[in-house]
Chains A and B, each alone.
Chain A
Amino acid sequence: MKKWTRRAFIGAGVLASGTLVLGIAIRPGNRSSKVADVIARDGESVLNIWLKIAKDNTVTAIIPHAEMGQGVHTALAMMLAEELDADWSQIRFEEAPAIKEYANYAVAKGFLGGGPNVPKFLNETVDGVFLTAVKSMNFQITGGSSSVRFTGQYAMRVAGAAARAMLVQAAAQKWGVNEESIRIEKGIISDSSGKSASFGEIAPEAAKVKKPSDPRLKSEKEFKIIGTSQPRFDIPDKVTGKAMFGIDVDLPNMKYATVAASPVFGGRVKSMDKSMEGKNGVIKVLNLGNAAAVIADGYWQAKMALDSMNLDFDLGENAKINQDQIIARYQREMDEAREKDELDTHYEVGNVGVEFEKAARVIEAEYQVPFLAHATMEPMNCTVWVKGEEAEVWCGSQNPLGVAAAVAEELDIKQEKVKVHNQLLGGGFGRRSENDVILQATRIAREVSYPVKLIWSREEDMQHDVYRELGISRMKAALDESGNPLAYQSQFIFRHHPPEAADIPYAVPNQQIRFSSPASHVPWGNWRSVDHSTHGFYSESFVDEIAHAAKQDPLSYRKTLTSDQPRFQAVLDLVKEKSNWGTELPQNWGRGVAVHKSFGTYVAEVAEVEVDISGGIKVHRVICVADPGFAINPDSFKAQMESGIIYGLSAAVSGEITIRDGAVAQSNFHDYPVTRMKDSPKIETYIINSGNAPGGAGEPSTPIIASAVGNAIFDATGVRLRRLPFQIEMPVRENTLG
């Protein structure tokens, strides 16, 4: 996901100075012949690269995204089936192969090309440009809550509609009637004279007709499948143990490996002994430079050998770094960057300085969030078989095409010679968009002739993750005498993406949002909702502080400041109603609200929180209102909101990675606690279908749960907590807690 930058596109020769370089005419909708060998079996007709129809009348959608429980295989198949007018029962899916023809041009277009705003007459050219670019970047990513928004909208629906038009054309030719007299309903093609046929009967001829370049898409009112809750394809195998994750792969003659990397990032192996080779199931001991690896008959044998090995690391200079120093350095560098006027500007309007001078009241606060690990349930793993100039890889990746490219480069072989078998992902959250584990498995497997499954221990997984950044934001607001905000100033550290994460939706006439990027030795990675995960906490907590300073109801205050934005108004109104906002709660309980737009989806949340006498925080209930434009598979969308809230709740109340002597101090779930059933709130989700372009589902509920909970804690106790994870120092406000 690091590659989503505009700069990368310029580097690929696609965008120059922010302008599209036109003139490369590739038609992404017309590559059926190139992929037919890969995706089609006997008797199957490939109508376009996203869709094939078999003689038995089943329609298979080819989905270029990884399944990690977000229901993408089902939702995208629904979008294709809708436009095809198929019967839902005839729909199957296959995950697209990790080849360049399935690079995600639609996602790239959505992120970088302005999406649907590209003029129609340029569509094919622009798609071609993006296809060329994403091929060169090996871009087949599942992330950024983008699958439905972009692949669904620009590839699946178009593919379904185009195939429908081809079936109509072929049936009309066959029956010698006008195309206008052909109807398609629930997978049956018919004409006014009573002739009818299944898709399977017409498909072979349909595959030969001219592909329409601009097929008509349905309006929302015409939807029959989109907007209904369909059971997910992936669920039945997940309740029987049959579902195959990367870690479950089993191959003839396969051996197992595990590793111990330098605990300090950047350290190297100084010495290690290989004396256990040939004993207790151990086959080979390897020095990988930054890690020791053992190949054995089983994971346990490998782990036992590694644990008993004399292994010493040269930890390097980073071993002197501790958590407090990191925070102190970040704060110092923030001061220096400001004093030396070296801050980068994220957004600026008006003149904040003048307003601070004449303000009736100035509010200032510093907020802080810690490093976070992903802690996917399935520890990192990858199986690689290197066969001379060829290789096969079994893994669960958010970017299988990127895997193929990385392995090819590592082995110095052709990318076409790397076959990636992508499996289900036991949690992604951004972690499985990285190739570090895949490359490590490749370096091990290249030393032997058989397939090797590398499995990381949970400790290795926790201590060699790529981490959500430790972040700091300093915010300042100027209010007039009635409490209206005149100016908003924010200074934060690290800006990754999406770029709009640090924006605030509020009508503040003068704004200055700036940032800097201090040096860090802790590797960074995309963590569910990325920069929104920090800014959703900073700004939605701070606006709550402003509302209270202005002596106004925090929900009404937010409404007033977003009065020109109907989607914010709607989610706030509904969350107010559903949460019984303003009604009395038991003693020591509080309510907090937060609202934020991310990945095209507007979300408002109200948390009901109880703070007990010992400072314990219990989140009882969360009301979530989301406007994703239009929810494709509503129950599945709700499940994503629930998931994002619990994931964010772990970060709000318990999750924290700290650095001790240059290394991650935590190692497993006992010291990196996550939300369990007994701690989890009752979640009620309400969807608003506003009719806007579809927004994302996987991430938008995560960013604001911490602020909703923190704001509720303030409501309950009068104590404002500005650092995650929340810890209440007792005693809190006197007479509040009995």
Chain B
Amino acid sequence: MIKLNINDKDYEVDESQGMPLLWAIREQCKLTGTKFGCGISQCGACTVHVDGKPTRSCITPAATVEGKKIRTIEGIQPDGNTLHEVQKAWIEMQTPQCGYCQSGQIMSAVALLEENPSPSDEEIDAAMSGNICRCGMYGRIKAAIKKASVEIQKSSTL
């Protein structure tokens, strides 16, 4: 058993047999917002942040992230009643369809905007092309990232 810090809370998890972080998060910590899509880092549905970096949890052994700060979709809201600017923009643009990939999309977008608050189209493409959306909502995802970017910059200049 090891201790994982997820969304500022400690969890004890079984890391044996090379247990990927994804399954520890979903089945042991019961945080099901993070999704299983491919298991080989091809689709991005499992994206979480490890020390702020977007990370594919399906190929990251849980044992390798002990002592690091892990953030999942359940941990990005500033508080229980307020959505993150990215989440607000996602609703505004009516971005999700089936919604299954969207936790991963949002985690990639949040990481992008934390690193680069005003990304160009090419930078958005580069940061987001590891996340597959079979409903094909790429245009809306891109529009929502731009919208969130504007809002984040507005609030940081206040």
Contacts and interface: CB of A to CB of B under 8 A. Distances in A.
Contact of A642 (B36, B83, B136): B136
A642 B100 contact: no
Contacts of B31: 241
B93 to A, nearest CB: 10
Given A242-B33, A675-B136, A280 B17 contact: yes
Interface stretch (A334-342, A423-431, A481-489): A423-431
A306 B152 CA distance: 47
Nearest to A379: B36
Contacts of B20: 300
A301 B19 CA distance: 8
Interface in B16-41: 16-20, 23, 27-28, 30-40
How big is chain A's contact interface, by range? Answer: 35 or more
Interface residues of B, number: 59
B94 A639 contact: yes
Contacts of B40: 458, 668-670
B33 to A, nearest CB: 2
B63 interface: no
Contact of B139 (A234, A642, A674): A642
Interface stretch (A83-91, A243-251, A543-551): A243-251
A646 interface: yes
A377 B134 contact: yes
A70 interface: yes
B11 to A, nearest CB: 14
A427 B128 contact: no
A239 B98 contact: no
B154 to A, nearest CB: 20
Given A458-B38, A670-B40, A240 B83 contact: yes
A682 interface: yes
B142 interface: yes
B91 interface: yes
B133 interface: yes
B73 interface: yes
Nearest to A670: B42
A392 interface: no
A373 to B, nearest CB: 11
Nearest to A640: B97
A300 B23 contact: yes
Nearest to A303: B39
B38 A668 contact: yes
A677 interface: yes
A378 B95 CA distance: 18
Contacts of A215: none
B45 interface: yes
Contacts of A426: 35, 98-100
A235 B35 contact: no
Contact of B132 (A455, A642, A669): A669
A304 B14 CA distance: 14
Given A69-B135, A300-B23, A674-B132, A668 B42 contact: yes
B43 A427 contact: no
Given A304-B17, A639-B137, A674-B132, A69 B97 contact: yes
A458 to B, nearest CB: 5
Contacts of A234: 96, 99
B98 A646 contact: no
A130 B58 CA distance: 47
A379 B96 contact: no
Interface string A296-309: 00111100100000
Nearest to B30: A250
Contacts of A301: 17
Interface string B93-118: 01111111111001000000000000
Interface string A632-671: 0001100100111111010000000000000000001110
Nearest to B17: A304
Contacts of A232: 94
Nearest to A71: B97
Nearest to B102: A238
A643 B138 CA distance: 9
A315 interface: no
Interface string B33-76: 11111111011010000000000000000000000000011100
A235 B83 CA distance: 13
Nearest to B62: A300
A699 B95 CA distance: 19
A457 B38 CA distance: 7
Interface in A421-439: 424-429
Given A243-B99, A245-B100, A677-B142, A375 B94 contact: no
A256 B100 CA distance: 20
Contacts of A566: none
Contact of A241 (B72, B91, B135): B72
Interface string A352-396: 000000000000000000000001111100000000000000000
A329 to B, nearest CB: 31
A231 interface: yes
B77 interface: yes
Contacts of B101: 377
A453 B16 CA distance: 21
Nearest to A254: B27
Contacts of A304: 17-18
Nearest to A455: B36
A241 B17 CA distance: 27
A47 to B, nearest CB: 30
Nearest to B136: A646
A70 B77 CA distance: 27
Nearest to A672: B42
Contacts of A281: 17
A675 B20 CA distance: 27
B25 to A, nearest CB: 11
Contacts of A239: 83, 87, 90-91, 95-96, 102, 106
B94 A636 contact: yes
Given A240-B83, A256-B27, A669-B42, A647 B136 contact: yes
A234 B43 CA distance: 23
Contacts of A299: 23, 27, 36
B137 A377 contact: no
Interface centre among B33, B90, B97, B103 (most CB of A within 10 A): B97
B39 A458 contact: yes
Given A642-B137, A683-B139, 14 more contacts: A70-B97, A231-B91, A240-B74, A241-B34, A245-B99, A376-B98, A376-B134, A426-B35, A427-B98, A459-B39, A642-B139, A668-B38, A676-B132, A677-B131
Interface of B: 16-20, 23, 27-28, 30-40, 42-43, 45, 72-74, 77, 83, 87, 90-91, 94-103, 106, 124-126, 128-142
5 contacts: A377-B133, A643-B135, A669-B38, A669-B43, A680-B139
